[in-house]
Structure 1
Amino acid sequence: MNKRISIYLPILIAVSVIIGIFLGNHLGKTPQTGFQNFAASKPNKLSTIVDLIANAYVDSVSTEKLVEEAIPTLLENLDPHTTYIPARDMQGVTEEMQGNFGGIGVQFSVHNDTVQVIDVVSGGPSNKLGILPGDRIVMVNDSLIAGVGVKNETVLSLLRGQKGTKVNVGIKRKGISDLISYEITRGDIPIISVDVSYLIDEKTGFVKVSRFAEKTYREFMDALEKLDRAGAQKIIVDLRGNPGGYLMAVVQMVNEFLDEGELIVYTEGHAQARKTYTATSKGKWLGKNVFVLLDEYSASASEIFAGAIQDNDRGVIIGRRSFGKGLVQEQIPFNDGSALRLTVARYYTPSGRSIQKPYEDGTDQYYHDIMNRAVHGEFQVADSIQFADSLKFETKSGRVVYGGGGIMPDYFVPVDTTGFSGYYSKIMQKALVYHFAFEYSDKYRNELKKLKTAGEFITYLSGQHILNRFEDFAEAKGVPKDPAGLKLSGEIIENQLMAYIARNLIGEEGFFPIIQRIDKTLLKAIEISQSQDSIGKILAVTK
């Protein structure tokens, strides 16, 4: 008997273990929860996973947080411009595109841990209460913001707010020992799209457009009308560094330079039929010469503007190849205030060129493209850019232009490295030109506020030996004097100093006409504009 038990016992134990494993596997699954059937019945894996985590996961977790973090990862597999905008960021995005925000109406700068008012928006809340350029903002509500390492973002978050809300501000003003307290009711503060417009000479107007928002067209037309009244017969439109924005803003602007029926741009996508935008009437500036400045940071709507002008042989493009952003996004809102910007189509210029550069190698490589262009010499020599014959297109008059990403200028202007030196590099790394201009403007504000134009600033500051003063300032900040470096870079530094000082007193109408003196791209545009009587003759040279 004992012998039989000793023989069969191992077999019985083995059978018991197998039965136990079998029962454990089956009793631990479907009979307890039923989630296998639940998952099998759902066609959408993503929503099913979220539901399973919410209802079956071992610990309590926020599925909302998981979804927020997962969406950007999901979108990474698409193009670089399809993005998710969390609800917390929507206000800033909306303000940027609508062209205004709620605030107190000051332009400020944080310098040496002090928030100083640079300019006051005319007619804005601060202007009406008597806040002045040069005032220091020391307190905002109950928060001390002086001498505590405050950042721009912090100041913005304290000063901005909904229109009609109030904010208490404590101001320190030179000559007054006590703080001046203001209760400011926030108002709508415009975000300006057209930075400046002025006459370069008696026939040539200049307009700098920094973005395309809801109010850009009206600002642009105001600038053109001002220049027209001043006698401008030709216009230089500076779109360098302009990242784009609203499609309808650029369509309306280009409309002013074309004849009725001329094509501006068209869009087309996998799920979207071709949509065409044409000039609706004879443009007010149809008979005047147009010159457009581009660089590698001009994107989207800037490229639509330049492409329409170029393909219709309506004007001349000057500078360097633009960024290459030609994808159309549609903003889709969600109930929680967030939104998805989904790419739904591509932009095409009138000749049929796709503006969009390739993005198949991933987002990182896409945004490193500008660095790659620099490495390959594109910023120095136009001939370093190679195009396939399949990317060759023709303008209205038969001039050859190329697609494949960005707009190639009719006249290439390399990045200007003349005047660069080790000394200049050191002072730029420490932002000493800006800091000197800030302190000089503050110290001599009473004398400088008598000057009203860029020309007056140039005349006055040319006699103040500011370059020598700057040398001493830079040395005190840790950059030793370098006569050879100053000889090479002195013209650039001196003009930058004068331009920033003028900006601190009279704004962009002081800055741009001075910086123009060392702006090689703008100087090239002026030279080209003066070389022939008409755009037709200028374009004939580029054939």
Structure 2
Amino acid sequence: MTEKKNSKRQIYLPIILAVVLVAGMLIGRMTSPSGNGKSGQRLMMYPEAGKLQTIINLIDEQYVDSIDTDQLVENIIPDVLKKLDPHTVYIPPKDLEAANQELEGNFGGIGVQFSMQNDTVLVISVVSGGPSEKVGILPGDRIITVNDSVIAGVDTPTNEVVNMLRGDIGTKVNVGIQRRNKDKLLDFEITRGNIPLYSVDVSYMVTDSIGYIKVNRFARNTYQELLSALAKLKANNCKSIIMDLRQNSGGYLDIAISMVNEFLDKGDMIVYTEGVNSKRQDVYANGSGSCKDTEVTVLIDEFSASASEIFAGAMQDNDRGLVVGRRSFGKGLVQQQFPVPAGGALRLTIARYYTPSGRCIQKPYENGVEDYYKDIIHRYEHGEFFERDSIDVNDSLMYETVGGRTVYGGGGIMPDYFVPTDTSDRSEYYYNLREQGILYQFALEYSDNNRSELSKYETANELKGYLDQQPIAKMLTDFASQKGIKFNRKEFQVSKELLKVEAKAYIARNIIDNEGFYPIISEQDEVLQKAVELIKSDADSVLQTSANTEAEMEQDIAATEMEAAAMN
């Protein structure tokens, strides 16, 4: 019992001190008298605030130089919290709005996607029905001024441009636009509107029967986006769904639960949570899901975390679908956000979550935050990205799925089918083009110069058909040479196909967004190709079994007819 109490004290004492620190400062400032009393008297002035607040007050009133004690408090809080777990964090007031927008799924803005090209903001796409489309902004336009401030040609940081264009819904912003074939600057007054942040990047049919959905986070609107994506695929006779959760770091727990519910039968466990101050809560599927009979495959990698792992774990533990890829991140902690005085918020870990088999997949964090996040680097150096046998499996954390398969806890979700990272087509020349942004710049310039022709094509297949006839590889290498990247024929041959596919995919993204990008880039996606192969092989085996059964039935019928004829 003593050990447990000590542990509890170690966890909550720093938080209590941080809260007391902030509250005590307010109380101290309202009650402290003026004057220069003795230090001993001052220590008695704040007995309710404790040592930490006493120190802050002494610094505020006695330190040799002027100190911003509010900023001092802001600096202290993260130091206090890092003694807990890596996911308990303090969000300062200046960052809170952006942090909430990411998960709430919307913000106030003008509704354009842009990129910086030669120190100029180039509009890549315009949100359909958004504020910019309503006033006539077009893809390919260049934003030269914002509210009379020139932003072109002055190396304005991207984040500053974003801050200038975003703002409260209903407020106005004036932009000066340079358009091709127009000599004069075009002036537009745009009323900022509610701009959605989509978390389902794309949904499309990979084959005649296999659908694909890419989810980048579990935000407030993700479930509704998923339902729309599922309806779209089902309208195209989808029989099997690939849920791509790679690079998805998580989000809202309740959204993940709603999404899992679409695939499980009534009574199947989805997840349960438990903490010292949080009673165990079991969550089960209610049987109302729309995809209970649809085959599902989940793609994960080392950056799939939290809600992504809840989804993958529920599919795996219920033997509902295959998990394909590489071991996931390993975040099994649940956070709740609390407001704090004077702005800002505390995202506090309140519980652990467990997959249906009882696994807590949280990886260790006893060695500190830095070591915790370097775990991905350690995995790479250990060879885990290339060989499944390199994964350190803890045999003491073995669990069983509903069907009796062995799964492991203690550090992420292990895939049912491991797909290694393939670097055989990566050369130094390829990495130079990637790292210096040459691929992206080329695609941007090519799209801009050929927009009228490219815009004729509405689907990825149509656009790819056109691009396949163009000398994209030659144009890319010429462009790279102009940018100072020396051509290396041997290394180019190693990466030629990869470079062509990536260049075409980026061009397609500039013209028809992700609906163009993902179908083309999938040609070089080993994990997705493996998933399709597994789904097809399973379907083929079912078809083969069915064919064999029919053949056996025909043989039995023929034998029966022969016996009957012999008897007659």
Fold-level similarity (TM above 0.5): yes
1:341 aligns with one of 327, 347, 372: 347
> What residue is the counterpart of 2:190 in the other structure?
184
CA contact (8 A) 1:163 1:186 kept: yes
Aligned to 1:201, the other structure's residue is in SS state coil
Percent identity, aligned pairs only?
Answer: 54
Aligned to 2:44, the other structure's residue is in SS state helix
1:35 aligns with 2:68: no
Unaligned runs of 5+ in 1: 1-28, 538-543
> What residue is the counterpart of 1:119 in the other structure?
125
1:442 aligns with one of 439, 448, 455: 448
Aligned to 1:530, the other structure's residue is in SS state helix
- How many angstroms apart in 2 are the aligned matches of 1:65 and 1:480? 49
> What residue is the counterpart of 1:227 in the other structure?
233
- 1:30 deviates by 8.1
CA contact (8 A) 2:43 2:54 kept: no
- 1:251 deviates by 0.4
- How many angstroms apart in 2 are the aligned matches of 1:243 and 1:332? 21
1:452 aligns with 2:458: yes
1:71-117 C-alpha deviation (Å, 9 max, x unpaired)? 11111111111100111111101111110000000000001101000
- How many angstroms apart in 2 are the aligned matches of 1:97 and 1:280? 25
Unaligned runs of 5+ in 2: 1-35, 544-568
1:80 aligns with one of 86, 103, 114: 86
Q: 1:33 to 1:57 in 2, by over 3 A?
A: farther
Superposition map of 1:241-390 within 5 A: 241-390=247-396
The letter for the 2-side match of 1:448 is L
1:236 aligns with one of 233, 236, 242: 242
Q: 1:376 to 1:31 in 2, by over 3 A?
A: closer
- How many angstroms apart in 2 are the aligned matches of 1:383 and 1:158? 51
1:47 aligns with one of 50, 53, 56: 53
1:425 aligns with 2:431: yes
- How many angstroms apart in 2 are the aligned matches of 1:114 and 1:494? 26
Q: Identify the range of structure 1 (420-429 vs 353-362) with the bigger mean alpha-carbon deviation.
A: 420-429
- 1:325 deviates by 1.1
The letter for the 1-side match of 2:347 is R
- How many angstroms apart in 1 are the aligned matches of 2:358 and 2:107? 38
- 1:52 deviates by 3.4
Q: 1:456 to 1:437 in 2, by over 3 A?
A: same
Aligned to 1:532, the other structure's residue is in SS state helix
CA contact (8 A) 1:391 1:403 kept: yes
> What residue is the counterpart of 1:522 in the other structure?
528
- 1:31 deviates by 6.1
**Number of residue equivalences:** 508
Q: What value does the CA root-mean-square deviation take over the aligned residues? A: 1.7
CA contact (8 A) 1:315 1:535 kept: no
CA contact (8 A) 2:126 2:137 kept: yes
> What residue is the counterpart of 1:23 in the other structure?
none
The letter for the 2-side match of 1:311 is D
- How many angstroms apart in 1 are the aligned matches of 2:171 and 2:264? 45
Q: 1:536 to 1:348 in 2, by over 3 A?
A: farther
The letter for the 2-side match of 1:35 is R
Q: 1:34 to 1:380 in 2, by over 3 A?
A: same
Aligned to 2:237, the other structure's residue is in SS state coil
- How many angstroms apart in 2 are the aligned matches of 1:341 and 1:536? 48
> What residue is the counterpart of 2:68 in the other structure?
62
> What residue is the counterpart of 1:480 in the other structure?
486
CA contact (8 A) 2:171 2:192 kept: yes
- How many angstroms apart in 1 are the aligned matches of 2:189 and 2:49? 58
Aligned to 2:376, the other structure's residue is in SS state helix
Structure 1 segments (4+ residues) deviating >4 Å: 29-33, 55-60, 534-537
CA contact (8 A) 2:223 2:258 kept: yes
The letter for the 1-side match of 2:477 is E
1:145 aligns with 2:151: yes
The letter for the 2-side match of 1:37 is M
CA contact (8 A) 1:30 1:36 kept: no
The letter for the 1-side match of 2:44 is N
- How many angstroms apart in 2 are the aligned matches of 1:262 and 1:97? 28
CA contact (8 A) 1:110 1:151 kept: no
- How many angstroms apart in 2 are the aligned matches of 1:187 and 1:411? 45
> What residue is the counterpart of 1:461 in the other structure?
467
> What residue is the counterpart of 1:20 in the other structure?
none
CA contact (8 A) 2:241 2:296 kept: yes
1:159-188 C-alpha deviation (Å, 9 max, x unpaired)? 000000000000000000000000000000
The letter for the 1-side match of 2:273 is T
TM-score, normalization: structure 2?
0.87
Q: 1:260 to 1:176 in 2, by over 3 A?
A: same
Q: 1:272 to 1:536 in 2, by over 3 A?
A: farther
Q: 1:324 to 1:281 in 2, by over 3 A?
A: same
- Tell which structure's C-alpha radius of gyration is larger: 1
TM-score, normalization: structure 1?
0.91
